[in-house]
A and B are shown apart, each in its own frame.
Chain A
């Protein structure tokens, strides 16, 4: 076996195109996912069974089945019903791009909702009781106390979730999308140099994962700076005297 650098150099721009699509999928479905996850998590912690059952089922289904089958259910499954094929949604549901985004968004929404639920339940009771004592309504308490506090608590865990999403976005290649994995696979089918191309793709994934981790470290040290605050040891200069 000989290592062929030329293949990597020649197809590098193509792989970067694929990486761009991967980032696009992760970013768009990440935003939709968070937008869905916050209300889901709030409903999930509700003491009212009527409100918390539906989010529970949603989370249970999407966390208990493989992402691949969720993608197939949306991409292939939707075409089974006459009603969907004739509706105005069909131009969206027949595009692999939008199906991948829908599947990723719902999947990450379920995982993030569970994460946010943990964060909401980790807020010290006293802070919520204090908000109640001030006579805040549920809405005001959620907006001013619960969500900002849960954001800080969930941030490190959410960074992991984004890395996992980056990795699972490789599944988009199974429904013909040319993301980084799909691109590497298509090129290797032409050049028969699987080891070189998959290594190059792997390196790009590692760089992207490192960037995501770095970004979340920075965000955490900014938003959770109160945790790292060290008061000046000798503010009055007493010891110097």
Chain B
């Protein structure tokens, strides 16, 4: 077994930060994705334009650049907004918040496309029959469309979550104490880079395996007719 020289608990602490970051970004990113899909499928041209601009821009720019822009540029923007309200002190963005913002913006752009395709895959008759029942569009969306969208979108969202989990590594560059940052700390002390980065890589492999398993479980859960054995 690899000798971690007593730095194992640091790596575990980093793992916890990575998991927190991934789960919070997933939740915020799903909201962004739903809003983006709603904008892209909207009847208003302006909303469609905003949705398209969002997905095109974010999917063409490196995630690392988004992380940098939000971490370094975010405090400039927040300070500019605060100075309108008469607050001129220096505001520093917390790396965790910057990380969550950057990762959920990136996740949301890809999730927008997944949700859009899933919503389009629901037959039009579902909307029409809900309308015939006298449901309002928002009630139709939450009661009829969303539960079905969820099932179609799950495999795609599972893949995106894998990407998100690996992208959390980028946040170590702006100083968040995640797995890679903790591994670097251990490397600085022990001068054994290969050992610690390999250990970190193995933790990521375990995390992605757990994520795959969870996705499969959710897929089974959301698809009762596949479980039904007559």
Instruction: Provide the residues of chain B in CB contact with A210, threshold 8 Å.
Output: 60
- Interface check A54, CB cutoff 8 A: no
Contact A64 B204 (CB under 8 A): yes
Contact A168 B72 (CB under 8 A): no
Instruction: Provide the residues of chain A in CB contact with B132, threshold 8 Å.
Output: none
- Interface check B103, CB cutoff 8 A: no
Contact A77 B170 (CB under 8 A): no
Instruction: Provide the residues of chain A in CB contact with B7, threshold 8 Å.
Output: none
CB closest residue in chain A, given B75: A194
A61 to B200, CA, bound (A): 12
How far is the CB of B164 from the nearest CB of chain A, in Å?
Answer: 11
Contact B65 A184 (CB under 8 A): yes
How far is the CB of A162 from the nearest CB of chain B, in Å?
Answer: 12
A80 to B187, CA, bound (A): 10
- Interface check A52, CB cutoff 8 A: no
- Interface check B117, CB cutoff 8 A: no
With A77-B193, A80-B194, A206-B57 as contacts: A65 and B204 at CB distance below 8 Å: yes
How far is the CB of B107 from the nearest CB of chain A, in Å?
Answer: 14
Instruction: Provide the residues of chain B in CB contact with A163, threshold 8 Å.
Output: 59-60
A73 to B187, CA, bound (A): 11
Instruction: Provide the residues of chain A in CB contact with B197, threshold 8 Å.
Output: 69, 72-73, 76-77
CB < 8 Å neighbour of B200 from A69, A80, A184:
A69
Contact A188 B198 (CB under 8 A): no
With A64-B204, A69-B201, A76-B187 as contacts: A194 and B62 at CB distance below 8 Å: no
How far is the CB of B21 from the nearest CB of chain A, in Å?
Answer: 13
Instruction: Provide the residues of chain A in CB contact with B226, threshold 8 Å.
Output: none
A199 to B69, CA, bound (A): 8
- Interface check B54, CB cutoff 8 A: no
CB closest residue in chain A, given B198: A73
How far is the CB of A80 from the nearest CB of chain B, in Å?
Answer: 4
CB < 8 Å neighbour of B204 from A69, A167, A205:
A69
Instruction: Provide the residues of chain A in CB contact with B205, threshold 8 Å.
Output: 60-61, 64-65
- Interface check B41, CB cutoff 8 A: no
CB < 8 Å neighbour of B194 from A66, A73, A173:
A73
Instruction: Provide the residues of chain B in CB contact with A65, threshold 8 Å.
Output: 166, 201, 204-205, 208
Per-position 1/0 for A90-113, Cβ under 8 A of B: 000000000000000000000000
CB closest residue in chain A, given B18: A66
With A72-B180, A73-B201, A206-B57 as contacts: A173 and B64 at CB distance below 8 Å: yes
- Interface check A201, CB cutoff 8 A: yes
Contact B60 A198 (CB under 8 A): no
CB < 8 Å neighbour of B192 from A70, A80, A170, A184:
A80
- Interface check B145, CB cutoff 8 A: no
How far is the CB of B191 from the nearest CB of chain A, in Å?
Answer: 8
CB closest residue in chain A, given B200: A69
Instruction: Provide the residues of chain A in CB contact with B60, threshold 8 Å.
Output: 163, 167, 205-206, 209-210
Contact B61 A195 (CB under 8 A): no
With A1-B80, A73-B201, A202-B61 as contacts: A195 and B69 at CB distance below 8 Å: yes
The 8 A-B pairs at the shortest CB distance, nearest first, are namely: A170-B62, A66-B169, A1-B80, A77-B194, A194-B72, A76-B193, A198-B69, A209-B60
Other than A64-B205, A194-B68, give 5 A-B pairs with Cβ distance below 8 A: A69-B169, A77-B194, A81-B194, A170-B62, A209-B60
